[in-house]
């Protein structure tokens, strides 16, 4: 199953031994910041990185449930999803995407500095990442507030203002736009009489998914910011160098992952049926 299965004749610790930094045992002096049960820095680092990656896979599946629900309901209620998406602010969404990409860059730089053992630089980039992350969360909070004011919180006095919907003049263009199972069908929602009642119920589903997905994402961001804050002190103390920067690297991987989730959330939530 594993790629090493066939190639490695001896176990990973045997490989580590070949690199010469092993066999400290509990008799010899154990190197600083090498946990007692590891033989070498390489072993420790590779364990940590594999651990983080495996964890990120669980995160994929965690968000995956929401994505599945999203796909299903979007294909069931395309109009409602368009109507819901039009309630979101593309501008803010785009800015936030950019902010998050910047923060990924600063995070990557922090990891690089850690690899090079530059304590001050690590801390600097961490602070930059924290600031950018907080900006993202701030903007998100503003958006949430708007939704609250506009009664777009599902289950809580949800009400979709009719005149917020983009009105289309003239005949519906829908029939010119065939689409598949998973796909939006039309430019906008023509709004004569009773239709909106349904749209309203199903738009509530959209907003539930919106809050569910962005909310979980935000929770991950908050945890990430917390972890970054916690990292500042050890990095200033020079804890990290080429041998030992697992914490910076692991938290960095996590941060990038959260960025990737947003990369998918942004078009799925903000950009549905914008054209037309």
Give the footprint of another protein on residues 201-230 (CB under 8 A).
201-202, 204-205, 208-209, 212, 216
Give the footprint of another protein on residues 113-152 (CB under 8 A).
115-116
For tokens 């203002």, the residue is: 161
The reply on whether position 78 binds another protein by CB under 8 A is yes
Choose which of 28, 32, 170, 180 interacts with another protein (CB under 8 A).
180
The reply on whether position 29 binds another protein by CB under 8 A is no
The reply on whether position 169 binds another protein by CB under 8 A is no
Contact string 227-256 vs another protein (x = CB under 8 A) = ---------------x--x------xx--x
With contacts defined by CB under 8 A, name the span among 109-117, 122-130, 133-141, 160-168 that binds another protein: 109-117
Provide the 3-class DSSP secondary structure of residue 161. Answer: coil
Q: How many residues bind another protein (CB under 8 A)?
A: 124
Choose which of 88, 109, 122, 160 interacts with another protein (CB under 8 A).
109
Choose which of 92, 174, 227, 232 interacts with another protein (CB under 8 A).
174
Residue 15, judged by CB atoms within 10 A of its CB (0-12, 13-18, 19+), counts as: middle
CA-to-CA dists, residue 190 to 76, 133, 138, 171, 176, angstroms: 18, 39, 35, 8, 14
CA-to-CA dists, residue 82 to 185, 233, 269, angstroms: 9, 46, 9
Angle at 262 between CA 114 and CA 112, to 5 degrees: 10
Q: Cα–Cα distance between 30 and 27 in angstroms, integer?
A: 8
With contacts defined by CB under 8 A, name the span among 8-16, 137-145, 221-229, 232-240 that binds another protein: 8-16
């Amino acid at each position: 199953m594993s790629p090493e299965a066939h190639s490695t004749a001896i176990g990973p610790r045997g490989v580590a031994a070949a690199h010469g930094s092993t066999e400290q045992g509990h008799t010899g002096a154990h190197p600083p910041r090498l946990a007692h049960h590891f033989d070498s820095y390489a072993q420790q680092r590779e364990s940590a990185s594999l651990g983080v990656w495996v964890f990120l896979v669980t995160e994929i599946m965690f968000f995956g449930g929401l994505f599945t629900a999203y796909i299903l309901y979007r294909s069931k209620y395309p109009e409602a999803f368009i109507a819901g998406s039009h309630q979101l602010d593309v501008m803010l969404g785009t800015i936030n995407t950019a902010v998050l990409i910047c923060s990924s860059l600063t995070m990557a730089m922090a990891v690089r500095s850690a690899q090079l053992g530059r304590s001050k630089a690590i801390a600097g980039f961490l602070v930059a990442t924290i600031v950018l992350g907080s900006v993202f969360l701030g903007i998100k909070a503003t958006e949430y507030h708007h939704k609250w004011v506009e009664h777009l919180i599902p289950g809580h006095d949800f009400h979709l203002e009719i005149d917020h919907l983009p009105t289309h003049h003239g005949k519906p263009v829908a029939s010119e736009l065939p689409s598949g199972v998973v796909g939006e069908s039309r430019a906008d929602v023509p709004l004569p009489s009773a239709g909106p009642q349904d749209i309203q119920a199903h738009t509530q589903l959209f907003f539930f998914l919106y809050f569910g997905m962005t909310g979980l994402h935000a929770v991950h961001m908050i945890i990430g910011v917390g972890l970054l804050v916690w990292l500042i002190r050890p990095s200033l103390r020079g804890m990290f160098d080429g041998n030992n920067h697992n914490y910076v690297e692991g938290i960095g991987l996590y941060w990038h992952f959260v960025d990737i989730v947003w990369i998918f959330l942004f078009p799925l939530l903000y950009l549905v049926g914008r054209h037309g």
